[in-house]
């Protein structure tokens, strides 16, 4: 198993459903990230976990709930989503020092989410 | 706040030719890193090349090189000898080296390589 993996690769859900996206990194990194990529928009950072602690939450609606049980796994729990939440959700990981400097971010293949 | 501008929404190149993808950035910090990523239609963001703001030499990784012009705040990606598999979206990104900084991405350039 190499790099950063994400499951599922594709997800279709209704607005009342609850689902979770999973990310796993096999690089020994200590920081993990969730990004959202909507059509024709730059990648938007959603959450950052540094040494398993959430250090950033970029004004993400509460219908998105992250969870980082350990430095290798990251989840994004979804509930009562809206159609405009349809996007590609990308997970990334990197190695951060105690002073905050970070190495290159490596990305997973993404989960393409469609909300009906 | 930092900003990345990629002015070319799309570029076309013939196989085996070289192509330059433009990237300009805006930051008041002195210490930062610049990255290029490739995103094929499959969706995965693939890291290509990195340039530190204090690096005196332009970064190179195989067929990829970064034309770094610090005074102009420019970090163009040069792909030599294009291949059909190079067809993808290309994103430029910047990261400050201070504190818990994260990546800021540009809107990307779609590159199409034709036979």
Of the CA atoms within 13 Å of residue A109, those in its CB half-sphere come to: 10
Across the interface, do A56 and B102 touch by the CB < 8 Å criterion? yes
Taking the C-alpha atoms of residue A43 and residue B89, their distance in angstroms, rounded to an integer, is 12
Taking the C-alpha atoms of residue A13 and residue A20, their distance in angstroms, rounded to an integer, is 11
B58 secondary structure, DSSP code? P
Taking the C-alpha atoms of residue B73 and residue B76, their distance in angstroms, rounded to an integer, is 10
Confidence of residue B99 (pLDDT cuts 50, 70, 90): low
Optimal mutation site among A27, A42, A45, A47, interface B, most CBs of chain B within 10 A = A42
pLDDT in tens, B61-90: 999 999 999 999 999 999 999 999 999 999
- Residue A2, CA distances (Å) to A33, A83, A89, A106, B103 in order: 17, 33, 19, 11, 23
pLDDT in tens, A36-50: 999 878 899 999 988
B98 to chain A nearest CA, in Å?
7
């Amino acid at each position: 198993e190499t790099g950063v993996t994400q499951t599922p690769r594709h997800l279709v859900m209704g607005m009342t459903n609850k689902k979770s996206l999973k990310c796993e990194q096999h690089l020994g990194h200590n920081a993990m990230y969730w990004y959202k990529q909507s059509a024709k928009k730059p990648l938007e950072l959603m959450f950052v976990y540094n040494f398993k602690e959430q250090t950033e939450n970029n004004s993400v609606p509460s219908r998105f709930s992250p969870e980082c049980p350990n430095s290798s796994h990251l989840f994004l729990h979804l509930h009562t989503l809206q159609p405009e939440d349809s996007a590609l959700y990308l997970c990334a990981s990197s190695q951060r020092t105690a002073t905050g400097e970070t190495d290159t971010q490596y990305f997973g293949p993404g989960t393409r989410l469609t909300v009906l | 706040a930092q900003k990345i501008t990629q002015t070319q929404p799309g570029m076309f190149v013939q196989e085996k030719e070289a192509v330059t993808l433009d990237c300009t950035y805006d930051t008041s910090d002195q210490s930062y890193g610049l990255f290029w990523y490739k995103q094929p239609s499959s969706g995965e963001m693939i890291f290509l090349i990195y340039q530190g703001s204090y690096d005196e030499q332009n970064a190179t990784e195989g067929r990829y090189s970064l034309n770094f012009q610090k005074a102009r705040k420019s970090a163009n990606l040069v792909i030599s000898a294009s291949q059909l598999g190079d067809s993808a979206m290309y994103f430029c990104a910047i990261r400050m080296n201070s504190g818990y900084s994260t990546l800021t991405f540009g809107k990307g350039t779609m590159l199409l390589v034709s036979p």
